[in-house]
Structure 1
Amino acid sequence: MGGVCLNDVQKAYQRIKSHVHLTPVVTSQFFNKLTGKELFFKGEQLQKTGSFKARGACNCVLVNKEKNPTVPGIATHSSGNHGQATAYAAGVAGLPCTVVVPRGTSEVKADAIRSYGARLVYCEPTPQARKDTCAAVAAETGYAIVHPYDDYNTIAGQGTIALELLQQVPDLDAVLVAVSGGGMISGIATVVKELRPECKVIAVEPAGKELGPCLRAGRRLWADPPRFLSTLADGCTTQQCGQLTFPILCRLVEPEHVIEPSAGMVVAAALSDQLPADLRRVGVVLCGGNVDLGRLPWPAASAPQTLVQDGGSS
Structure 2
Amino acid sequence: MKAQEMASLVEVAARRIQPYVLHTPLLHTQPMSQLTGVSVYLKLENEQVTGSFKVRGAFNKTLELLSGGDQVKSVYTASTGNHGLASGLAFRTLGVAGKVVVPKTADREKKEKLREAGCDLIEHGTDCEQAETHARSLANQANLPYLSPYNDYHVMAGQGTIGLEILEDLPDVDAILVAVGGGGLIGGIAAYIKTKRPQCQVVGCSPAKSKVMHESAKAGRLIREESHETLSDATAGMLEDGTVTFPMCRDLVDSWVLLEEEEIAEAVYYCLKHHKKVVEGAAGVALAAVHKISPSYQGKKVAVVMCGANISMKNLHKIISTHADTT
Pick the TM interval, shorter chain: 0.7 to 0.9
Question: Are 1:228 and 2:234 matched, yes or no?
Answer: no
The answer for the alignment partner of 1:104 in structure 2 is: 105
Cα distance in 1 between the residues matched to 2:69 and 2:300: 47
Cα distance in 2 between the residues matched to 1:94 and 1:138: 18
Counterparts in 2 of 1:93-242, with a 5 A limit?
93-208=94-209, 209=211, 211-220=213-222, 222-223=223-224, 227-240=226-239
State whether residues 174 and 201 of structure 2, in contact with CA within 8 Å, keep that contact through their aligned partners in structure 1: yes
Counterparts in 2 of 1:264-275, with a 5 A limit?
264-272=284-292
State whether residues 176 and 304 of structure 2, in contact with CA within 8 Å, keep that contact through their aligned partners in structure 1: yes
How far the C-alpha of 1:276 sits from its partner, in A, is: 1.5
Q: How many residues align?
A: 297
Structure 1: stretches of 5+ with no match in the other structure: 304-314
Q: Once the two structures are superposed, what CA deviation does each residue of 1:18-38 show, in whole Å capped at 9, x if it has no partner?
A: 000010010121111101010
**Higher share in helix:** 2
The answer for the alignment partner of 1:311 in structure 2 is: none
How far the C-alpha of 1:98 sits from its partner, in A, is: 0.5
State whether residues 77 and 147 of structure 1, in contact with CA within 8 Å, keep that contact through their aligned partners in structure 2: yes
Q: Deviation above 4 Å: which 4+ runs of structure 1? A: 1-4, 210-213
Q: 1:123 to 1:239 in 2, by over 3 A?
A: closer
The DSSP-based 3-state class of the residue aligned with 1:289 is coil
State whether residues 6 and 191 of structure 1, in contact with CA within 8 Å, keep that contact through their aligned partners in structure 2: yes
Cα distance in 1 between the residues matched to 2:239 and 2:312: 23
Question: Are 1:252 and 2:252 matched, yes or no?
Answer: yes
Counterparts in 2 of 1:24-103, with a 5 A limit?
24-103=25-104
Query: Match for 1:95: what amino acid?
Result: V
Cα distance in 2 between the residues matched to 1:54 and 1:26: 20
Q: 1:90 to 1:5 in 2, by over 3 A?
A: same
How far the C-alpha of 1:73 sits from its partner, in A, is: 1.1
Cα distance in 2 between the residues matched to 1:103 and 1:210: 21
The answer for the alignment partner of 1:21 in structure 2 is: 22
How far the C-alpha of 1:93 sits from its partner, in A, is: 1.4
Cα distance in 2 between the residues matched to 1:277 and 1:49: 33
Q: Once the two structures are superposed, what CA deviation does each residue of 1:50-85 show, in whole Å capped at 9, x if it has no partner?
A: 000000010011101112431111110111100100
Q: 1:19 to 1:275 in 2, by over 3 A?
A: farther
State whether residues 39 and 299 of structure 2, in contact with CA within 8 Å, keep that contact through their aligned partners in structure 1: no
Question: Are 1:292 and 2:312 matched, yes or no?
Answer: yes
Q: Once the two structures are superposed, what CA deviation does each residue of 1:144-199 show, in whole Å capped at 9, x if it has no partner?
A: 11000010000000000011110000001100000000000000001101111100
State whether residues 71 and 142 of structure 1, in contact with CA within 8 Å, keep that contact through their aligned partners in structure 2: no
Normalising by structure 2, what TM-score?
0.84
Q: 1:21 to 1:97 in 2, by over 3 A?
A: same
How far the C-alpha of 1:216 sits from its partner, in A, is: 3.6
Q: 1:293 to 1:127 in 2, by over 3 A?
A: same
Cα distance in 1 between the residues matched to 2:237 and 2:215: 16
State whether residues 73 and 142 of structure 1, in contact with CA within 8 Å, keep that contact through their aligned partners in structure 2: no
Cα distance in 2 between the residues matched to 1:293 and 1:108: 8
Cα distance in 1 between the residues matched to 2:126 and 2:316: 19
Q: Percent identity?
A: 35
How far the C-alpha of 1:295 sits from its partner, in A, is: 4.8
How far the C-alpha of 1:250 sits from its partner, in A, is: 1.4
Cα distance in 2 between the residues matched to 1:175 and 1:186: 12
- Between stretches 82-91 and 134-143, larger displacement belongs to 134-143
Normalising by structure 1, what TM-score?
0.87
Q: 1:280 to 1:239 in 2, by over 3 A?
A: farther
How far the C-alpha of 1:116 sits from its partner, in A, is: 2.6
The DSSP-based 3-state class of the residue aligned with 2:99 is strand
State whether residues 258 and 274 of structure 1, in contact with CA within 8 Å, keep that contact through their aligned partners in structure 2: no
